[in-house]
């Protein structure tokens, strides 16, 4: 799914002004005989590898949004293990000039079923990668994935560690 209708409606009223939104990141792992693998998606807009991300719909619980995004983006069913990080992104300026900033909830999720495939058109590739052979993941996506991999019992808050 591309831009949600509620954002398009808001943009008609506010133009490109900064918009505060809620987002989720789902770091999905599965255990195999060879070790732990992590689900990553190659974004269609910039070609970068990231965990699954998305926007929380109005009234939607962040955990439900994370699982919905995994199903929509990767055609995979997962379950939440726990919240691993809450942070605020830098302001994002899109090619059309729209500005957005997100409060983001990152969840560590466990794979349940499904064959990964780019299901919604927002990604060109989706797959599981061995923890010791991940493709390059950059910036905040690398930091939240590292937090999910570390799997400390407490939820991290605030700026992401480098």
Residue 90 has pLDDT above 70, yes or no: yes
Annotate 40-98 with DSSP letters as a single string. EEEETTT--EE-EEEEPPTT--HHHHHHHHHHHHHS-EEEEEEEEEEEEPPPEE-TTS-
Look at residue 95 in the predicted model and tell me its pLDDT: 87
User: Cα dihedral sign for 142, 46, 88, 60?
Assistant: negative
Q: Give the three-state DSSP class for 35.
A: strand
All domains in the chain, ordered by first residue: 5-156 (3.90.79.10)
CA dihedral 100, 38, 129, 34 (to 10 degrees): 170
Residue 35: strand pairing partners: 32
Residue 1 has pLDDT above 90, yes or no: no
* Dihedral angle sign, alpha carbons of residues 24, 7, 76, 47: negative
Check residues 52 and 5 and name the one with the higher pLDDT.
52
Task: Dump pLDDT digits (tens) for 112-123.
Answer: 999 999 988 889
* Mean of the per-residue pLDDT values of the chain: 93
pLDDT class of 94 with cuts at 50, 70, 90:
confident
State the number of CA atoms in the 13 A half-sphere of 43 facing the CB: 15
- Give the Cα separation of 78 and 90 in Å (integer): 28
Rounded to the nearest 10°, the torsion over CA 87, 90, 94, 95 is -140
Quick one: pLDDT at residue 162? 63
Say what the pTM is: 0.92
CA dihedral for 48, 87, 53, 154, sign (positive or negative): positive
């Amino acid at each position: 799914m591309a831009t949600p209708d509620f954002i398009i409606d808001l943009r008609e009223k506010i133009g490109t002004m900064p918009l505060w939104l809620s987002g989720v990141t789902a770091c999905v792992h599965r255990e195999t005989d060879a070790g732990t693998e992590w689900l990553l998606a190659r974004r269609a807009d910039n070609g970068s590898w990231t965990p699954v991300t998305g926007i929380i719909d109005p009234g939607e619980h962040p955990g439900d949004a994370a699982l919905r995004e995994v199903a929509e983006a990767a055609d995979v069913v997962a379950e939440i293990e726990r919240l691993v990080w809450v942070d605020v992104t830098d302001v994002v300026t899109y090619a059309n000039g729209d500005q957005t900033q997100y409060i983001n909830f990152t969840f560590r999720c466990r794979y349940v079923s499904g064959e990964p495939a780019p299901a919604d058109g927002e990604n060109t590739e989706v797959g599981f990668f061995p923890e010791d052979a991940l493709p390059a993941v950059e910036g905040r996506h690398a930091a939240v994935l590292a937090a999910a991999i570390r799997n400390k019992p407490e939820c991290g808050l605030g700026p992401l560690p480098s």
